[in-house]
Amino acid sequence: MVHPTLEALQQQVVEHLRLIYPEEDHETLAHRLIHAVGAEGHCVMARPRSEPWDQQDLIVITYGDSLRREGERPLHTLKRFVDHYLAHVATGIHILPFFPYSSDDGFAVIDYAQVNPSLGEWADIRDIAEETRLMADLVINHCSSRSRWFEQFKADEAPGRDYFITADPDEDYHQVVRPRTSELLKPVTTAAGERHVWCTFSHDQVDLNFANPQVLVEMVRIIQLYLSQGVSIFRLDAVAFLWKEAGTSCLNLPQTHEIVRLLRTLVSFYDPRILLITETNIPNRENLAYFGNGNEAHAIYNFSLPPLLLHTMLTGDCNALKLWQMSMPPAQMGTTYLNFIASHDGIGLRPVEGLLEEKQIADIATTMEAFGGRISWRSLGEGGLRPYEINIALYDAMKGTLQGPDQYQQARFLCAHAIMLSLEGLPAIYLHSLLATQNDLDKVANTGNNRSINRHCWDADALEAHLVDVKSHHHQVFVGLCQLARLRQDQAAFHPSATQFVLHLGDELFGVWRQSQRRDQSIFAVANVTDQVQTLRLSSLNLIGTQNWWDLLSGDDYPDLHGDIELAPYQSVWLTNRSRETAT
């Protein structure tokens, strides 16, 4: 007799499959998927939606070899750094693709089942996962042209011959939305003759054919492998492009959303603590759709935040950031935003389409080029090009305003992170932001890849020398960000799902009010986003007069609630009513 919880799971999966593959044997396919994820050994239906995160959580994003030491496996070097420097700062580590690859710094996966030997082995991954929540990429849309599956495709051998999308080069693909300028179709000589394969990102990254359900089964098997190695958070890379259908944009199609729902159902049954995060660098409204009805992604990347916060810091005007935050719906129970300012990729510009004017975007791009950055472009469906992302180290992006460089680089950089850490959602900080790494122009010259500018590889010993040098900006920024992160951990009002309201304080001051879920703490987080001294009138905050208010960041008390605070350029305050004994 089938266990009743497995029976319920089987029915749920069948319902998903009916929408994705109307013509398939849904019962058989559902059984294969349940077996592939290893659900029979768990037999635990997903519990009522809860929130497996709180204000203590912070994810650090890094490549497996961002830190190197001669004679040591990079993953071992990374673990030593995490244990020594980040043990009380980060609760999660996102190690970017750590598999054998052929291009795109890991996102053209040759073998999903192996750890790149130049980084280490599965034992190193498990060691990291034992100490912290491990986030890994499921590079789901495409694989390397050097993968075993694609070699089978070229030889016209099973199973790979049916794993890729082929198309007629004479058809009209003008509606297809892509983030690159290369040709969509790549001609390939195979044992069955010349065929043209679909390549959304590059000709070395060949799109997988999810219209073939066996590809979905293979991907679920990969998920199970990663689960067995300690991965507990999955980043679904480029998932918005997953399903292709003639005559459409091939972006955010219904089948794509249903596959995300199916994966959520499977992993939630396996272990309700497993999280799915969708990486969808697309306009804001489309990005929000990946929450579904609380049944798709547990978290979505808040892609509009980096360019809007950059715009704010460059202009000294927070109006666009404020309007966007006011328009954002609170995440449903069991879901949250993943807030970040920098990542291994650039600062995407598509997420601010409709939020910033074209001239404002152009001004950002021009200023970033003046600060040493690069601009990457994308092809438009109707022809032509448009800026797709800015490639620059975030520390260098903050070296000035639209008027040029100034003396406030470090203050501006810390201010941006203070704002990010105060917002509703789960924060993630790129390792190179923690280290205040600057533009790596030599790496760009060596690779020819604009994104290399923000993918520096540190000599671990040289880095540690900087981190103990109190005069080094690396030390100063690292200490400043760690202090902000640790302080945030103790504030119930900064729980990812705590109440948030945007404050109306003019264009020079950005502020939010956060209230803890138990309503026992309020924080008014306010930042001066300009290079001039600004006055914050406490009376504008409507602080409760019977409570004692003080600033978590400076420690200053504010007994006169009708007084003013003079905020220095890029200074932030986190005003709270919580007693000092419980807030620190």
The secondary element (H helix, E strand) that includes residue 259 is helix 254-270
**Dihedral angle computed from the Cα positions of residues 473, 475, 477 and 479, in that order, rounded to the nearest 10 degrees:** -160
Residue ranges of the chain whose pLDDT lies below 70: 1-4, 42-50, 379-384, 583-584
Model pLDDT, residue 49: 47
**Both tokens assigned to 342:** 């920098």
Helix orientation angle between 358-370 and 305-315, rounded to the nearest 10 degrees: 80
Q: Which residues pair with 511 in a beta bridge?
A: 526
**Dihedral angle computed from the Cα positions of residues 63, 395, 533 and 487, in that order, rounded to the nearest 10 degrees:** 20
Within 13 A of 536's CA, how many CA atoms are on the CB side? Answer: 31
**Strand-strand pairing, 499-502 and 522-528:** unpaired
Model pLDDT, residue 383: 63
Closest by CA position to 236, among listed 270, 261, 203: 261
pTM of the model: 0.95
Closest by CA position to 350, among listed 281, 249, 274: 281
3-state secondary structure of 117: coil
Closest by CA position to 478, among listed 59, 74, 89, 96: 89
| CATH code reported for the domain at 499-583 | 2.60.40.1180
Write out the binding residues for substrate: 104, 142, 235-237, 344-345, 451
How far apart (Å, rounded) are the C-alpha atoms in residues 360 and 363? 5
Contacts of 85 (CB under 8 A, 6+ apart): 467, 478
Buried/exposed code over 119-132 (b: 16+ C-beta within 10 A; e: otherwise): bbebebbeebbeeb
Write out the binding residues: 104, 142, 235-237, 344-345, 451
Where exactly are the structural domains of the chain? 499-583
What is the 3 state secondary structure string of 348-400? ECHHHECCECHHHHHHHHHHHHHCCCEEEEEECCCCCEEEEEEECCHHHHCCE
Model pLDDT, residue 18: 98
Closest by CA position to 231, among listed 300, 136, 147: 136
The answer to whether 303 and 348 are in contact (CB under 8 A) is yes
Strands of 458-562 (E only): list them. 458-459, 499-502, 509-515, 522-528, 534-537, 550-551
Model pLDDT, residue 580: 76
Cis bond upstream, residue 159 (ω within 30): yes
* Catalytic one of 237, 396, 440, 531: 237
Residue 237 among the catalytic residues: yes
3-state secondary structure of 24: coil
How far apart (Å, rounded) are the C-alpha atoms in residues 418 and 480? 10
Q: List the alpha helices (DSSP H) in 21-168.
A: 26-37, 74-81, 122-131, 148-155
Model pLDDT, residue 66: 98
Q: 296 vs 49, 51, 302, 497, 529, CA distance in Å?
A: 12, 14, 15, 18, 35
How far apart (Å, rounded) are the C-alpha atoms in residues 67 and 7? 47
Model pLDDT, residue 48: 46
Model pLDDT, residue 437: 98
What is the 3 state secondary structure string of 427-450? EEEEHHHHCCCCCCHHHHHHHCCH
How far apart (Å, rounded) are the C-alpha atoms in residues 561 and 170? 71
Helix orientation angle between 26-37 and 254-270, rounded to the nearest 10 degrees: 50
Contacts of 378 (CB under 8 A, 6+ apart): 178, 179, 180, 181, 350, 385, 386, 387, 388
3-state secondary structure of 95: strand
Backbone angles phi, psi at 359, to 5 degrees: -65, -40
